[in-house]
Structure 1
Amino acid sequence: MEAITILALAINLIILTILGFQTFYTMEVITILALVLNFITLIIVGFQTFYTKKSLEAAKNSIELTKTLNQLEQLPDMHHVIHVTIYLERWNKELKEVIKTLKDNNKEKIIEISKRKSVEAKGLIQKWSFEKMPNWLSIIYASGAQYYYNSSGAYKYLWDEKSSKIDPYEYLSRFEESSYYLDILLKYIDDQVPEVFLNCPASLYTSDFFE
């Protein structure tokens, strides 16, 4: 591609050189030469555009191929990916519902949320699955649990039964921040398992197909 660009510049330099020797050529000859050389330049630029487009298409195909290969490499661990996705989505959905309740200033729902059983850190992560999944996925899993626990632990402070006080906005930013980062964590594992494997038509276990 650089060679084509240099060639186009060289042709333009030739045109300028010819124009510099107008005393040796008639204007008609100079005009014809300039038109011919400009036409050649346009052809070169056209080829350059064509090859640039092809290069971009090749790069796009390479990215898609890399993505597909990565998905295939993750297939043995796809049940771990599904497991983490389900938990992150569940936690995020709960936080988004709490955020909506606080923004709506729904007193009844806020009181109901504040009376929920406190979420304990122990049990948020299933150890047997955590220890078997890839390191990168276990880090995402643990991070999601941290964000969820950090917010759910504040539920009990949303309403003070003694003073009958409700302050829906005091902890709103904490919930929004946790939900925001859960969204990001979910993006990291998005498309790791192709839908073609998730949406198999038969609701049977693989072992059901063995002889």
Structure 2
Amino acid sequence: MLAECGFAVEVENKVKLVRGQAEIDVYAGETLKGQKYIILCECKYWKAAIPQTVVHAFRTVVADVGAHKGYIISSSGFQSGSREAAGQTNVELVTWGQFKAAFEATWMESCFTPVMTELLDPLMTYSEPVLPQWFPQLPEADQKEFMALKKIYDPLGWFAMTVSTYTLPFREDYPSLPLNDTLDPTANSTDCSQTS
């Protein structure tokens, strides 16, 4: 079983309000020590800046649901009246980059790292940078084959170690997302799909 990752998230969730219901783009709930925490997100991929009427409507939804925080995430910014409408409330107006920055480090540490460690742990013995303790007991032919495979999969071993809980005390930062930008495709010219 994989490690739990905090918030239970539902997309396009219908929530009950004082006067009816509303559909929320993202509903995230988490219970910590018996206390439920709720975050609501509205994602606006609009060509125009978000007007204050949208903020007023979302503030009502956030209040009726009893959410601790609400985010309106916009691809085209916000009108000046929108910022005033969100002032002194628990609704935050953000771009996708700002939203991601608010949660990325916490998600990486509490979810991504434990899950990746759990999934990659069985493989790390074979691919981590340090040779396993049982390596000297292998016959010479097996040692040569192991080293040939290790040369191919060393980048995976280094990557696995950088995202594992084993390096957490020494880590200054996580690789930036998306992770495929972190890996250098030219580091090894061998086609791994052809190995057996």
TM-score bucket (shorter structure): under 0.3
Q: Name the one with the larger strand percent.
A: 2
Structure of higher CA gyration radius = 1
Greater length-normalized contact order (CA 8 Å, ≥ 6 residues apart): 1
Whose helix fraction is larger, Structure 1's or Structure 2's?
1
Return the TM-score normalized by structure 1. Answer: 0.26
Give the TM-score normalised by structure 2: 0.27
